[in-house]
Structures are given as C-alpha cells and as structure tokens.
Amino acid sequence: QPDDRGLIGDVPVLRVTRQGPQALHFVPAALEPGAEVLLSLDWERRFDHMQQHSGQHLITAIAEQMFGFKTTSWELGRQRSLIELDTPLVTAEQIEALERTVNEKIRDRVPVTVRELAADDPEIETVRSRGLPDDHVGPVRVVDIEGIDSNMCCGTHVSNLSDLQVIKLLGTEKGKKNKTNLVFLSGNRVLKSIEQSHNTEKALTSLLKNGPGEHIEAVRRLQSSVKLLQKNNLNLLRDMAVLIARDFKSKPSPGQLFVLHRKEGDSEFMNIIANEIGTEETLLFLTVGDEKEAGLFLLAGPVEAVENLGPRVAELLGGKGAGKRGRFQGKASKMNRRGEVQALLHEFISHRSP
C-alpha cells in the first residue's frame, strides 16, 4: 500500500517509509526538535487507499472461496488496482459472479476489525498471510472481515464493508506464467471513472453528431474514410515525386545539386525522387516534415560524396542517420538549419567542379 502524505505543522511530508518499528518521514525542511506540531493527514489519499486495500481483501477472499483462485500478489495503482490470481484463466461468467457476490457483502454491511496478536500466538497460523518481513518487531496485526476473511496485514482499512460503496471488476489481463491479473476499482474510484466516461461520452456526442449508441459505428466509418484518404494521398505523393524528378531531368542543364523540402512527404516520397533522377552525377538533398523543427532527410548522390557529407549533414540538422551505396538518411530535430546544409553542399560542389 502506498504511504500516507500530509503536513507536520506547515512542512509537507514527501514520503514515509518503515525501518523496523520506526516510521521515517521525509520532509523538505528541518524540524525543530521538541517543538509541538499539528499533524495533518491527506485524508482523501488515505481513504482512497483504505477503500482499495479493503476491496482487495474482500475480492481475494471471495475469489478463493468461490473458485479456489489464490492471490499471489496485488498492486494498488494510482488509477486502478490489480490482483494476481494463481490461475491461467478467469472466465467472463466467473468475473460476473465474483462482482455480484462482493457487492452483496458490501450491501450486507459486514464489519471489518483489526486486532493484534503476539508473535508467538498459535492463532497466527490460522490466518491468511504472505509471511512477516525480516525486520518485523512487536505484535502481529490481523485484519478480519467478519465471517469472510482473516488476514495478516499492516495496511489501513475501512471499519465496515459499506464504506467501500461498490466494487467494479474491469476484466482481466494476462499475467505471469499461468497467472491472471484481475483489474478492479473500489469506492470513489468507481464514481470518478463513471464521471470521466460520461464526460468522454458527451464530448464524442458533440463531435460525432450522434447518440452514444452510434459512437462505435461512427468511429469505424471515420477510420475507413481516413484509410482511404491516406491511400489516395500516398498515391498522389508518389505521382508528384515522379513528376518533380522528371521536371528536373527535362531541363537543358539540370545541375549537380537538387534541393527540395515538402512538409507532407515521407521517406518513400524522397526515395522515389532519388530513384527517378539518378544519383550517379547529381547530389540530392531532400527533406520532409516540419520546416523548423523535426523531420526526415535524405542525402543521395555519388557514393564517395555521400559517405563524406552524410554524417556532417546529420550533425548540422541535429539528427542521426545511416547510409550505404550512395544514400544517407535519418531523422532531424533542427530542420531550420537546412540553409546551412545547402551552403555546405554548394561549397563541396564548387571545390569538386573543374
């Protein structure tokens, strides 16, 4: 269970850990020894942890009673919690029955009590436990859900199952070998989840211009339209790349350097241009993406020239790349430095030309 937070006087507590019998509080400022202070607990955080932890005890106990599923570990997460069950499969019918039963226990207002036993008390052997820490000292704490569960635990819990309000099992995820993770929400987290879902539903209703029952089909139609548009756009880009290359080659004196930037292009767009123009005599510097920030680049041309210039081009553009057989391409983070690259290439060509 995560630690508590709050204030010591007006100094915030950043973290609490246990060291033997001591609770160590981490604070950002020194405290005056001997001073009388008011301790203020972050109750919302504490109560949330109480609801999730007691909810886990209840789910664990009922899952074992109903189906023989033993809990091997659990995680109290920030938004949802997981219980690792020692079974390779939990069916939808079992999840439904388990959820129905734990919520019946909540409505029955079953008491939850805490008692302390001496470390050598033989009753310790009768309670559910994962064992004591090596540095444990003092009495052993046992949490009882009346008539349902008796469990060795050092966490904070509600005093009655009615304080859990409700438990929602969200389904399962694949766990470690031959184990299943059961995902759940308890208490106020269920209410927050419903609120978030309702806000999302309202936003989608406004955007999609239809009711909640039609959202899924509307999104499917949009996805289909987007795929078709992407396919058409890709075909147009390919055709455009061919036309750009042919236009360059049709000039009486094409020149030794070809430079082009296109925001909506991609790697295939650049390579088509390079293939169509040919790189035996012409040096090509092609870029796509954001004009001032991140994007892709391709340097193509005579093998020796590209091997010499490729790493320098990548460095100027704040990116990384690799190449072979007269092509060097990669990602760039500083596309606004394309002018510096062009200057470098012009200088290279002027020194190479007779």
- The three-state DSSP-derived secondary structure of the chain is CCCCCEEECCEEECEEEEECCEEEEECCCCCCCCCCCCEEECHHHHHHHHHHHHHHHHHHHHHHHHHCCCEEEEEECCCCEEEEECCCCCCHHHHHHHHHHHHHHHHCCCEEEEEEECCCCHHHHHCECCCCCCCCCCCEEEEEECCCEEEECCCCCCCEHHHHCCEEEEEEEECCCCCEEEEEEECHHHHHHHHHHHHHHHHHHHHHCCCHHHHHHHHHHHHHHHHHHHHHHHHHHHHHHHHHHHHHHCCCCCCCEEEEEECCCCHHHHHHHHHHHCCCCCEEEEEEECCCCCEEEEEECCHHHHHHHHHHHHHHCCCEEEEECCEEEEEECCHHHHHHHHHHHHHHHHHHCC
The pLDDT of residue 325: 87
- Find the mean pLDDT for residues 145-167: 96
The pLDDT of residue 139: 87
pLDDT for 115 beyond 90? yes
Query: What does the alpha-carbon distance between residue 38 and residue 142 come to, in Å, rounded to a whole number?
Result: 29
What is the band of 337 on the pLDDT scale with cuts at 50, 70, 90? very high
Structure confidence by residue, pLDDT tens digits, 132-153: 777 777 889 999 999 999 999 9
pLDDT for 16 beyond 60? yes
The pLDDT of residue 144: 96
The pLDDT of residue 354: 47
**Nearest residue to 325 (alpha-carbon basis) of 352, 307, 341:** 307
Most confident range (mean pLDDT) of 96-105, 238-247, 297-306 is 96-105
- Whether domain 229-351 has CATH 3.40.50.970: the reply is no
Cβ–Cβ < 8 Å for 332, 296: yes
- Report the CATH fold assignment for 44-130+139-205: Threonyl-tRNA Synthetase; Chain A, domain 2 (3.30.980)
- Find the mean pLDDT for residues 206-233: 94
- Find the mean pLDDT for residues 58-64: 98
pLDDT for 255 beyond 70? yes
The pLDDT of residue 206: 95
The pLDDT of residue 353: 55
Mean pLDDT of the chain, nearest integer: 92
pLDDT for 227 beyond 90? yes
Query: What does the alpha-carbon distance between residue 149 and residue 278 come to, in Å, rounded to a whole number?
Result: 77
Structure confidence by residue, pLDDT tens digits, 281-324: 889 999 999 888 899 999 999 988 999 899 999 999 999 999 88
- Find the mean pLDDT for residues 77-83: 95
pLDDT for 194 beyond 70? yes
Give residue limits of the domains in the chain.
Answer: 6-41, 44-130+139-205, 229-351
